[in-house]
């Protein structure tokens, strides 16, 4: 679906170009055309391919979707596959923005995403001194907008980790902790699989061997790279912490089990006193003088209670109970 298609010159919007005005889609002079598509059909993609001479392999990748994040050079043009990561109802949703950039065009194709990028265009049009950098700045602006959406996802993961940590040392939630840690590790993995290759690809746009198309926006791409490394480091840190947390959770379970064992054993010992004594006075020996005593019975009961009490206070002192 075509969202819009606009001609820019010297950083300013010149006019909207209708979909059917095929012959004049190409930018005139030194401006560029910015085409935004959403869940593009084969026909739409073939149309822009013909217009701007996009490379067959890039178009194929955009059609298939679910590509690995990457930035590829095809001659003097670039092809970005930027992963979209959104958190909906506690689940990560993975979308994709594919951006084709040539000296005189930018084509962005958004797939499997709820939120659009109209704000990016609006902001870019408010800053003509930026837009004057050319079509690559648009690619940067889109990339930057996508990266900005990673941060709330990262925050959600970090908050979940905080919540789990608060429970680990409280005990009694070992099973749910481990389930949540497992899920969190997978989500952190998904975020990482989006961020890490994108960062790596972006790294190639920086430094001495960057494509000429990117040179005017070098500082901006480096800034985006920086944000990605921050997210990447934070994700690695979450994953590492989860590993430790799983170990710690197991340790806590084992410790708790040990405590339960001790408590049970203590009570078992206390209770075992009664039948031991009772068994003795339940024997049928003919000559058992204690059985004849007038206060034998209450004394026996008293002895049992005293023995239990002694054990109880001893276990109490040893903190087993």
| Residues 287 to 306 in contact with a copy of itself, rule: CB under 8 A | 287-288, 290-297, 300-301, 304
End-to-end Cα separation, the chain, in angstroms: 69
Query: Of 94 and 174, which has the nearer Cβ to a copy of itself?
Result: 174
Query: Of 110 and 227, which has the nearer Cβ to a copy of itself?
Result: 227
Beta bridge partners, 100, equal 79, 107
d(CA 159, CA 47): 45
User: What is the footprint of a copy of itself within residues 159-178 (CB under 8 A)?
Assistant: 165, 168-169, 174-175, 178
- Give the one residue of 94, 246, 307, 321 binding a copy of itself; rule: CB under 8 A: 246
Give the HSE-up count for residue 138: Cα atoms under 13 Å, Cβ half-sphere. Answer: 34
Q: Point out which span in 25-33, 94-102, 105-113, 244-252 binds a copy of itself (CB under 8 A).
A: 244-252
User: What is the footprint of a copy of itself within residues 201-230 (CB under 8 A)?
Assistant: 219-220, 222-223, 226, 229-230
Asked if 317 is part of the footprint of a copy of itself (rule: CB under 8 A), the reply reads no
Query: Of 1 and 264, which has the nearer Cβ to a copy of itself?
Result: 264
* CB neighbours of residue 61 within 10 Å: 19
- Give the one residue of 13, 38, 55, 132 binding a copy of itself; rule: CB under 8 A: 55
**What kind and span of H or E run contains 12?**
strand 12-16
d(CA 57, CA 61): 6
SS3 2: strand
User: Strand order of the sheet with strand 32-38?
Assistant: 12-16, 2-9, 32-38, 105-111, 91-102, 77-88, 70-74
Asked if 119 is part of the footprint of a copy of itself (rule: CB under 8 A), the reply reads no
Q: How many residues bind a copy of itself (CB under 8 A)?
A: 85
User: What is the footprint of a copy of itself within residues 59-118 (CB under 8 A)?
Assistant: 61, 67-68, 70, 72, 74
Token pair 């690995």 in the structure block, residue: 68
Query: Of 116 and 172, which has the nearer Cβ to a copy of itself?
Result: 172
146: buried, middle or exposed (CB in 10 Å: 19+, 13-18, 0-12)?
buried
**What kind and span of H or E run contains 235?**
helix 218-281
- Give the one residue of 118, 260, 305, 306 binding a copy of itself; rule: CB under 8 A: 260
- Give the one residue of 4, 22, 41, 254 binding a copy of itself; rule: CB under 8 A: 254
Written as one string, the DSSP assignment of 68-91 is PPEEEEETTEEEEEEEEEEEETTE
Asked if 126 is part of the footprint of a copy of itself (rule: CB under 8 A), the reply reads no
d(CA 121, CA 141): 9
Asked if 158 is part of the footprint of a copy of itself (rule: CB under 8 A), the reply reads no
Asked if 149 is part of the footprint of a copy of itself (rule: CB under 8 A), the reply reads no
Q: How far is the CB of 86 from a copy of itself (least distance, A)?
A: 20
Asked if 313 is part of the footprint of a copy of itself (rule: CB under 8 A), the reply reads no
Asked if 283 is part of the footprint of a copy of itself (rule: CB under 8 A), the reply reads yes
């Amino acid at each position: 679906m075509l969202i819009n298609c606009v001609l820019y010159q010297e950083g300013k919007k010149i006019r909207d170009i209708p979909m059917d005005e095929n012959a004049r889609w190409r930018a005139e002079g030194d401006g560029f055309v910015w085409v935004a598509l959403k869940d593009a059909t084969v026909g739409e993609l073939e149309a822009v391919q013909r217009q701007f001479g996009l490379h067959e392999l890039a178009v194929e990748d955009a059609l298939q979707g679910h590509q690995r994040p990457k930035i590829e050079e095809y001659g003097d043009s670039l092809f970005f596959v930027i992963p979209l990561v959104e958190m909906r109802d506690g689940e990560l949703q993975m979308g994709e923005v594919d951006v084709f950039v040539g000296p005189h065009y930018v084509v962005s194709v958004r797939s499997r995403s709820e939120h659009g990028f109209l704000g990016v265009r609006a902001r870019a049009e408010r800053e003509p001194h930026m837009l004057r950098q050319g079509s690559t700045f648009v690619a940067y602006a889109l990339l930057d907008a996508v990266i900005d959406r990673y941060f709330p996802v990262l925050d959600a993961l970090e908050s979940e980790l905080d919540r789990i940590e608060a429970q680990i040392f409280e005990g009694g939630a070992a099973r749910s902790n481990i389930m949540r840690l497992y899920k969190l590790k997978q989500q952190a993995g998904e975020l990482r699989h989006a961020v890490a290759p994108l960062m790596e690809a972006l790294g190639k746009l920086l430094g001495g061997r960057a494509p000429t198309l990117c040179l005017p926006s070098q500082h901006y791409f480096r800034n985006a790279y920086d944000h990605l490394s921050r997210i990447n480091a934070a994700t690695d840190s979450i994953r590492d912490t989860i590993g430790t947390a799983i170990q710690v959770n197991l340790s806590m379970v084992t410790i708790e089990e040990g405590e339960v064992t001790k408590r049970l054993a203590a009570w078992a010992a206390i209770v075992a006193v009664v039948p031991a004594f009772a068994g003795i006075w339940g024997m049928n020996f003919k000559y058992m003088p204690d059985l004849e005593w007038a206060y034998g019975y209450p004394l026996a009961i008293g002895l049992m209670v005293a023995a239990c009490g002694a054990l109880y206070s001893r276990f109490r002192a040893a903190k087993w109970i």
